[in-house]
Every structure is written in C-alpha cells, then in structure tokens.
Chain A
Amino acid sequence: MSDTVGTDTDIERRPRGTAGAGSPATPAPPAARRRRGRGRMRLEIAVLSGPPIIVFVGFVIFPVLLAAYYGFYKWQGYGPATDWVGLDNYRLILTDPAFQQVLWHSFLILGLSLVIQGPLAIGLAILLNQRIRGRSIIRVLIFVPYIISEVIVGTGWSLMLQTTGALNDLLKHVGLGSLQNDWLANPKLAIWTLMAIISWKYVGFAVILMLAGLQSIPDELFEAAQIDGASYWQMQRRITLPLLGPTIRIWGLLSIIGSLQLFDLVYIIWGQYVSGTAGTSTMAIYMVAQGRDAGQYGYGSAVAVVMFLISFLVALLYQRFVLRRDLRGAVTEGVN
C-alpha cells in the first residue's frame, strides 16, 4: 500500500522537473553566519537520521549481507563459520528437484494470483464505485479478511476444509454431496484450495486499492463520453481501464512480491511436510525447512539469497517493462 501513496507523490512531484540534485549549497552565502548554520544543520540531520539509519541498516541491510556471506559456508548455526564450500550450496539448491518444485509452485501462485484477483478486483471495484447506500460499511467488511492474521485464517480454513469439516457438510446439505472432497490433502486440488484461500484473503485489499484509483478519475470524462454517445462498456474500456492502469500495475507489483514470499498460510495449513506431498510448498517453506528446521543455517542463508535474487529480478523486470511510465526512477532516484 505504501507504493500507491508513493506514486501519488511522484505524480505530484513530476511537474517540478528533474532539477533536484543541485539545490543544497549552490548560492554562495554570506560566509560566517551561514557556515555556523550549516554546521548546526548537519548536527540536526545526524541526530534525527542517525538512530533510524542504525536500526534499519543493522536489522535489514546487514542481515541480508550476512546471508550472502554465510551462503558460502556449510554452517550449523553456532560458532564461527569455517567450512567454506564456495558455490556448493547454490549448486545444490539449483539442482535439487525439491527446490525446482517449490520454484514452480511459487510462480504458479504468482501467476494465478494476478489472473484471478486482478479481474475480480477490477470488476468488483467498478461495480461498487456507484453511489450506493452503505458504501462505507461494504468497504469495511470486504477489508476484514485482510486485517485478520494469516495464522487465524489458516486455522479457521483448515478446520472448515477437513474431510469432516463444514464445507463438505454444507455440500452434502445442499445436495452437492458428490462434490465432497479432501480439499487439503488431494494433490490435484490442494493448490486450488490454496488459491481460493489466498484470493479470499487478499482480494479485498485489491478492491480497496482499485476503488481508490477509481475515485481519482474525474466524473467529467464520463459525462463527456456520454454526450458523445459512448456506451457503458465503451466507457469502461476506453476511460476506466486506461486511467486505472497505474493502480493496477502497482497492485500487480505488491501481489508479485507477496506471492514470491508466501509462507504463513501454507505453513499453518499444510505444515512443511504435508505441503510437499500436497503440492503447495513455496520457496519460503523450503528455506525454513532446509535451513532452520534442519539446522543448516549456511544452506538456509543461500536459499534466502536465491529467493532474494529471484524476487529482485522479477521486481526489476516488472519495473522496467510494466511500471516504466508510472514511477520513472521513483525508487532509484529518490527525493528531489
């Protein structure tokens, strides 16, 4: 969600042009007073930004660098890492059929999330964007699954989806008993069960984002189009969709990053062992199972690096080819 807000500012910022970098010290100031002022300013900057930077670098950047370091060692997690194995960990990861499998699952989840949630969210948002009564309560209620923690969602759904659970019971009662199934353990179904739960949990967030995007489309455009005799569908296709584009693309990025690091839901519902046989294990599950749970912290770190590189690459490609127009250099160029 941060990204949306981020783009807002980018849009706001863009007209001001790219003349940022040179601003700080360009006009030569009356010497002494100004210099003391600048020293004071430096001090303030240091005092204000020091602690956040220390915390951030120490607990976000440094661990990631550390992972790169430990990834070259065979290391059990205690004592100094001495058993240098070069690229062996990485070779093992890339040739491990189990990893190839989780990689495939992760990308499958990524693709299906985009394909299922995207159109659904756009459609629902367009529908709900009309002036209907109770709009605010609708927004709150569709946001509820997003607010609830993955653990609770997982616990609740796994109880409902047991073979003796509520869903099968409900199917029996409405006369669809033939549809009863082992939703969680059947390897043909499990991934679709997972997709259903993911869609349930995250589509509300997508709808809220899209609604926010729709609000920013001026009504005048629709009025003008109507005067020109455009049909409802023409207006949606020629006005709504293109103008909603930035929102859709930002949502896509959030969804992609979320899919690639999916862990909680799968771990709670299937656990590390069952998820393997049910075909729902993800890269993060593999990392935790092979790393922490197996006591191989060197190997786990290497998996983390691979995961990071994959996510980074995907995000980079996405930014290069999809987001190009929306946030030209928003992340790389910073504030001006």
Chain B
Amino acid sequence: MSVRTADSRFASAARPRTPIGRRGDRDKPAKWGNPFVYFIALLFIAVCVAPVLYIVLGGFRTNAQITTSPAGLPHPWVFSNYGNVLKSVTFWGEFGNSAIVAIASTVGIVILGLMVSFVLARYDFKLKGAMYSLFAAGLMFPLVIAITPLYIVIKDLGLIDSLAGVIIPQIAFGLPTTVIILVPFLRAIPREIEEAATIDGASRLGFFFRMVMPLSLPGVVTVGILAFIGSWNNYVLPLYILNSQANFTLPLGVQAFSSQYSQDTAKVLAFTSLAMLPALIFFSIFQKRIVGGLTGAVKG
C-alpha cells in the first residue's frame, strides 16, 4: 500500500494548522494535548484513504510499473488507461444504466416514502401503529436474505434482465429507512401551520404539496442521498436480475471488467476508480447532510 505517500501528503497539508488549534479546547489535562490527537487522526485518515489512493494512482501507471514495484508511485504518469476507459462504450453504457437505476430508485423512494410518512405522521387512524410496524419490520428483511424469492417474483413478472427489475425492488427495500427518517421530520411540522393553511382554504393534500414538501426538504435530501449511494453501490440485486452485458450497472461492470482484463491490472484500476467517482462526488457535495442527518435529523 502507499501508506507512506498518503501519510506525508496529509501531514504536510495539516501541519501548519497544528499550533493554532488550541484556542477553544475542552479542558483536557495537558498530556492529552493536540499533537497526539493530530497524530492519531492523521494515521487513521491515512489508513482510510491509502487503499483508495492506491486504486486511483494505480490507474496512472503501466502494467510494467505495477509488476516491478507493486507499491510504487506512477513514474512516469500514464494517462492512457483512464483515456481508454473514458473512450469505451462499455463504461459509458454501464454508467448510464447505473445513473438511470439510481435516479429512478431515488425518485421513487422519496415520493413513495414521503406519501406514506405523511400519512403516518399527520393522520390519526386505527391501523396506524400496525402500518408503522409493517415498515419498521422491513429493516429486518435485508435484501440479501430475500434475494432468492425476490428473483422468483421478478421472473414471474417478466422483469428479468431489465432495469425496472432492479429499480422496483430497490424502491421497496428503501422504504423502511425512509419512513423511519421522514416520519419525525413530518411530525415536527407544527399543527398551527396546518391549521393556518386550512383556514386559508388549502386542503390536506394542498398542505402536503405546498407546505410539507418544502419544510421536510432536509430530511428528504438525507433520504435521497442514502438512496442514491445505496443504489449506485448495489451489487447483489443486479447480479441476480441483470444477465446481459448491455444492461449491467457499474458494480457488475467492474467485476466483469476485472475478470475480462485480469492481466491488465492498470486498466482495471482505472475502470474501478472511475466507477467509484460519482458516489464520491455526490457524497462530498452533500456530506454535511449525511453526517448531519446522522447527528439527529430533527434539528436539521
């Protein structure tokens, strides 16, 4: 691994900051001062990031470089691996499939999730508790466990080897998490707002579209990101449902590519790093929402 590289990189990036950071320190005994904390933090980051850097940097090397020095740095930097992948029809086809599946699943999860969460949060009816339990129990049915019978259902519906056969189950399995995150959001909208909307002549559904949707946006974004990344990374469902290469999503593509070009490590690494890029970009744009969402969605 290129642990050393990563280490020095981040060390140099963060070192100038070290002495300043003391200001608002929680009163800790002096021996637990900053340098140690920074050291551990940097070490931890290096361990987390080094394998990822290995994949990305490996794509900039030739196979000869990788064979002679597996843990080395690119020397010289080669751009043809990435270039070839970016020119290949296979990559963009699989990229497109992944994008379609992820966007459709996300939209489906958000819309259906909002609908049922709204009912659970804002209506009073006899079966409400049972309904919530039904969805909450869904957390106990992970996709992997249900995959064999799910495959049978999808096959009976004639959806094998179609993107819809991946999208619909993903929506279904995304609902429990969505409901559990969104219900508290929707419940936190004050009754007064709803009453005011009613006085102004808005129906319950009008209230839903005009007030609930915008007010629950933070929760919706959190749910949407989780759904998107989950879909982008999903492996086992496409593995069962999609047979023909033309319908592959990127995870299947990475696997197929790495067995097809098992001798061409550099190309595999280039393909792999391009395949993870969208999820990483998506995450870094919205990271505040994800980390913040975990910190207690209600305060938003």
A interface list, Cβ under 8 A from B: 1-6, 8-9, 12, 20-21, 23-24, 41-42, 44-45, 48-49, 51-53, 55-64, 66-67, 70, 77, 124, 127-128, 130-134, 136, 138-145, 147-153, 155-157, 159-160, 164-170, 173, 200, 204, 208-209, 211-212, 215-216, 219, 222-223, 226, 231-232, 257, 261, 263-264, 268, 284, 287-288, 291-292, 297, 300-301, 303-304, 307-308, 311-312, 315, 330-336
- In whole angstroms, what is the CA distance A170 to B69 when docked? 9
Q: Which residues of A contact B128 (CB under 8 A)?
A: 334-335
State whether the Cβ of B224 lies closer than 8 Å to any Cβ in chain A.
no
- In whole angstroms, what is the CA distance A133 to B13 when docked? 12
What does the 1/0 interface line of B174-212 toward A look like (CB < 8 Å)? 011100110110010000000000000000110010000
Number of interface residues of B (CB under 8 A): 124
CB-CB contacts below 8 Å: B231-290 with A: 232-236, 240, 250-252, 254-255, 258, 265, 268-269, 272, 275-276, 279-280, 283-284, 287-288, 290
Q: Which residues of B contact A138 (CB under 8 A)?
A: 41, 45
Most chain A beta-carbon neighbours within 10 Å: one of B32, B135, B146, B298: B146
Contact for A59 among B54, B116, B168, B252, CB less than 8 A: B168
What does the 1/0 interface line of B153-175 toward A look like (CB < 8 Å)? 10100000000000011011101
A177 to chain B, nearest CB (A): 13
Find out whether the CB atom of B115 lies under 8 angstroms from the CB atom of A132: no
Q: Which residues of A contact B140 (CB under 8 A)?
A: 257, 308, 311-312, 315
State whether the Cβ of B44 lies closer than 8 Å to any Cβ in chain A.
yes
Q: Which residues of A contact B72 (CB under 8 A)?
A: 169
Indicate whether A170 sits within 8 Å of B240 (C-beta atoms), given known contacts A4-B294, A5-B296.
Answer: no
Find out whether the CB atom of A147 lies under 8 angstroms from the CB atom of B283: yes
29 A-B pairs in the complex with CB atoms less than 8 angstroms apart: A1-B294, A12-B298, A44-B123, A48-B115, A49-B120, A52-B113, A55-B112, A64-B149, A67-B148, A130-B26, A132-B21, A140-B283, A145-B51, A147-B280, A149-B233, A151-B233, A160-B54, A160-B70, A164-B67, A166-B2, A209-B294, A212-B291, A212-B296, A222-B27, A287-B148, A297-B148, A311-B140, A334-B131, A334-B133
Q: Which residues of A contact B69 (CB under 8 A)?
A: 169
State whether the Cβ of B89 lies closer than 8 Å to any Cβ in chain A.
no
Contact for A24 among B44, B125, B272, CB less than 8 A: B125
Extra 20 A-B pairs, beta carbons < 8 Å, given A127-B40, A132-B34, A149-B234: A4-B294, A9-B298, A53-B116, A66-B152, A66-B153, A145-B48, A147-B283, A148-B276, A149-B233, A151-B251, A152-B276, A170-B70, A200-B48, A219-B26, A222-B26, A263-B144, A292-B148, A308-B145, A334-B136, A335-B132
State whether the Cβ of B78 lies closer than 8 Å to any Cβ in chain A.
no
Main secondary structure of the interface of B (DSSP, over half): helix
Find out whether the CB atom of B40 lies under 8 angstroms from the CB atom of A5: no
Find out whether the CB atom of A56 lies under 8 angstroms from the CB atom of B172: yes
Contact for A169 among B71, B116, B132, B226, CB less than 8 A: B71
Q: Which residues of B contact A45 (CB under 8 A)?
A: 119, 123, 125
Q: Which residues of B contact A155 (CB under 8 A)?
A: 254-255, 258, 268, 272
Q: Which residues of A contact B298 (CB under 8 A)?
A: 5, 8-9, 12
Indicate whether A143 sits within 8 Å of B233 (C-beta atoms), given known contacts A131-B26, A335-B120.
Answer: no
- In whole angstroms, what is the CA distance A223 to B171 when docked? 47
Q: Which residues of A contact B74 (CB under 8 A)?
A: none
Q: Which residues of B contact A231 (CB under 8 A)?
A: 29
